[in-house]
Structure formats: C-alpha cells, structure tokens
Amino acid sequence: MKINSIYHSYFKLINGLIFGIVLLILTILNPVLAFRYDCRLYWELTHSLDSDGVFSLLNFKEALRGVLFSIFLYPSLKISQVFHWNELLTCRIYLIAIYSICFSWLLPLAYKSFLGKEFQSVRHGILGILLLIFWWEYFTLPLTDMIGMILLFTSFFLLHRKKRFYFFLSGICLYAAINMRLVYILSIPFYFIYLLLTIEGISNKIKSIGFAFIGFVIAVAPQWYVNHFNFNSNTWFVPTQASQATGGKSLLLMQLNWGLSIQKYETNTDTIYPTPEVKYLDASGVNLSGIHGNKDFISTSEYLDFVFHHPIIFKVYLKKLFNGFDITTPKAYLTGDIYQRSIVLRLLNYTIIFLGLTILLLRWKSMEKRNLLFIGMAGFLIAALVPTALEVRFFIPAQILIYFMVVSISKTDYSMAKKNGFLIIVLYLCFIGSANYLSNDTMHQIEFTQKN
C-alpha cells in the first residue's frame, strides 16, 4: 500500500525513469557503430561548431539545416570529449535523458492543457508504452522530429501558464521548433490566434504577444548571425537555397517534384535492399509526372496550376495521407528484410488511430475552440506535407494527439459509443480491412521488388 502511494505521488518521475531505462535497454540491444544519413549530417554539423578548436557559430556552414539542433546536441559532444567516452553512445544517452525529462513533465503539461484534466499515473504509463511501441528509436538518434514536436507543443501550451516568463519561453520554443522543422513555420498564424483565445483582456493579450515576440527574436539570433555572415542573407529562417545540396533550388519545390510519383519514402541501412532510398511509387503519380513531361516544377504557382487542371492528383494525395499514418516499424531506419513488416504492429496502429478519431468525433461539440484550433493546425500541417516525399515521422504531432485522445478515454466516451456500438464495430472492421489493403498495396509498389 505504501509503495502504491509513493508511486501515485511521484508517478511522473517514476514513469520518466522507467521510460528512460527501457530506452537505454533498447539502445544497448541495438548498438549503432556509426550514425547514418540525416543523423550523420546533424552530428557532423555539431562537430563543426568547434572545428577550429574554438566554439563559433560561424563554423556552421550548412544552409540545409538549422543551427539550433546542433547547439542542442553540442553538450553531449563535449561530455564525450572531456570524459573520453564513446561519442555515439554518449549522444544517445544524452537524448534519452532529455526525452525522459520531457516525457515526465512537458507531455503531461501538454495533455492537461489540451484536455483540461490532470494526467493520471496509469494513463501516463499507457502513453509511454505507445511511444515505445511505435517510435522508440526516434528517441535515441539525433533527429529533429521528436524534439521539434515537443517544442511546438510546448510553445502553445506554455501560454496556459499566464505569466510573462512563460510567454517569453513560448516564443523561444516556437522559433526553435521552426528552426528544426521548417514546415512548422505554417503554425505561426495558428499560434497567434491560439494566444488570443487563451489570454483574457486586451492589455494582457498585447503584453503576452510582446513577450512571446521577444523570446522569438532572441531565438532567431543564432540563425540570423549564421545567415548574415556565412550565406550573405538576412533572413530569420533556414536559407535552404544557399545549400550545395539543393543546388540553389527551392527545397519545397524539390519535395513537390519528388512527391508527385513517390507515395511514401523510407531509408534503408541494410544490404538486402539495393539502395539506401526506399521509394514506394504510385502509378497515378508516375503517370501525372509523365503528363508534365517528367520535368521539375519551376514554381509553386506552376505546381498549383497543374494540380488544378489534374484533379486526379487528389486520389494520389488520399493514398499518401494514409501512408503518413501507416507505421510499419518503430525504427527510424529500415534494417533486415524490409519486405516483411509486422502485421501485429500495423493492426495495433490502425486500432489506435480508429479509437483516437472515434473519441475525437464523440467529443467534437464539447471541445474548446482553442483546442479545435490546435487540432486544425495539426490537420493543416498534414495537408501541407502530403504533396511531398512523405515519411511517417512527418506526422508525429498528429499521432501524439491521437495518443492523447486514446489514453484519455472515459466512461462518458464509452457510454456514448455504446449507443452506436454495432455501427462502430462495423466501421472498425471496415477501417482495419481497408487500412491493411492499402498498406499491402503500397508495399507492392516498392521500387525494387524482392527477388525470388
């Protein structure tokens, strides 16, 4: 009884420790001899910050990525150098520690702000289980997806604290999220409206906007400094067109060009598959690319004009929308036989998504406007990402909101669902069957098929 009482008193800390320990065990069981692809780039950029022996932002000379994530990783690099520890393992443990703290304190804050109720210990634990089942490796590798999502959520939900310091921190978190995941720039209008809906009184609204703006500008400073001196640019966002990797082209247009024929993209680290790039092609998309002459779009207006004149592209978008939610592995990179995916993991994912959407529909009319706005923002981000070369990690914010809905299920939800129990069961079976069919269909569209 005493142990149970202690657990419920300190459940956030205990659940965070358990979350971190499980991640550590999984890390030990899945060692990494070298960071690959995006992870390697981020780690090399972190190294570059003191490449001449002295820390300087001017050593950061890559315009494809924001500087703040490398600054975030830098302490782990210095710790490994000072104590002569393995760099990669130190970085992974550092990330585990950071994410365990975030899981203990920031996600419960987001949950409470979003749903208006305290995060109970069991529900907190269930959320941890879901994150470990579907995403565990993303918490142990230097990738921006998880930290970007956490910063984005935190920037919104800090506004509930209604103190100037938290408004200031909120602005910092918002820009940091944008710097790490450029697509989050689309969240700015939603953030502004959310702030106006959350803060009462015109005077308080003006003050909160002011302090959030100050925090935002301060967070901009490192990137602006790098842009000004290294890329001859005074922009506050990441100047991707200045990167050698893009060849002076717009990264957005490059993504739109790739995304027309690629309905899903993954990265492979094994030799079973012939290339690191795993592309799942779409027959309709490939045909549309042929109609356009298999050439690149030179502007967003040209792309939008093409979409307007070829509405069949929305069929491609619908398949890609599903693929963005179709988690087939909890690993960031594919290993082993990539042609075989766990049916159990997929069915569990479909069930969680169905439950989350069902609960959302049941509560739709009773939810606060600001939270509907937040859901709308997640939907808008999804819509913006669907035309690109889509990866499941792009939809992490929406997936987390679905998990929030699932772990918050109540007796009221159950009672409301029970009234239409037969219909919900039929819809569930149809959803599972359709999702499994679409997932298998996507697997069959893989660029290089398995050799018999």
Task: Give residue 129's pLDDT band: very low, low, confident or very high (50, 70, 90).
Answer: very high
Spell 196-224 as b/e; 16+ CB within 10 A means b.
Answer: ebbbeeeeeeeebbebbeebbeebbebbb
Q: Please report the pLDDT score of residue 261 as a whole number.
A: 86
Confidence of residue 93 (pLDDT cuts 50, 70, 90): very high
Q: Is the pLDDT confidence value at 245 over 80?
A: no
pLDDT attached to residue 1: 52
Q: Which amino acid is at 79?
A: I
What is the spatial distance between Cα 244 and Cα 174, in angstroms, rounded to a whole number? 27
Q: Is 69 in contact with 179 (CB distance < 8 Å)? A: yes
Q: Please check the confidence at residue 9 and state whether its pLDDT lies above 80.
A: no
Phi-psi region of 176 (alpha: psi -120 to 50; beta: other; left: phi over 0): alpha
pLDDT at position 5 is 67
Q: Looking at residues 103-123, what average pLDDT do you find?
A: 86
Measured in residues, the chain has a length of 452
- Residue 377 is classified by DSSP as H
Tens digits of residue pLDDT in 145-177: 999 999 999 999 999 887 889 999 999 999 999
- Across 130-139, 333-342, 416-425, least confident range: 333-342
How many C-beta atoms surround the C-beta of residue 339 within 10 A?
12
pLDDT at residue 123 greater than cutoff 60: yes
Q: What are the structure tokens assigned to 379, written together?
A: 């939907």
Residues 6+ apart with CB under 8 A from 21: none
Closest CA to 340 of 275, 276, 272, 390: 272
pLDDT bin (cut points 50, 70, 90) of residue 451 is: low
Calculate mean pLDDT across residues 390-397: 92
Query: For the whole model, what pTM was predicted?
Result: 0.91
Q: If you search the block for the tokens 């592209």, which residue do you land on? A: 313
pLDDT above 90 covers what percent of the chain? 47
As a whole number, mean pLDDT of residues 298-315 equals 85
More confidently predicted of 351 and 256: 351
Averaged confidence pLDDT in the chain = 88
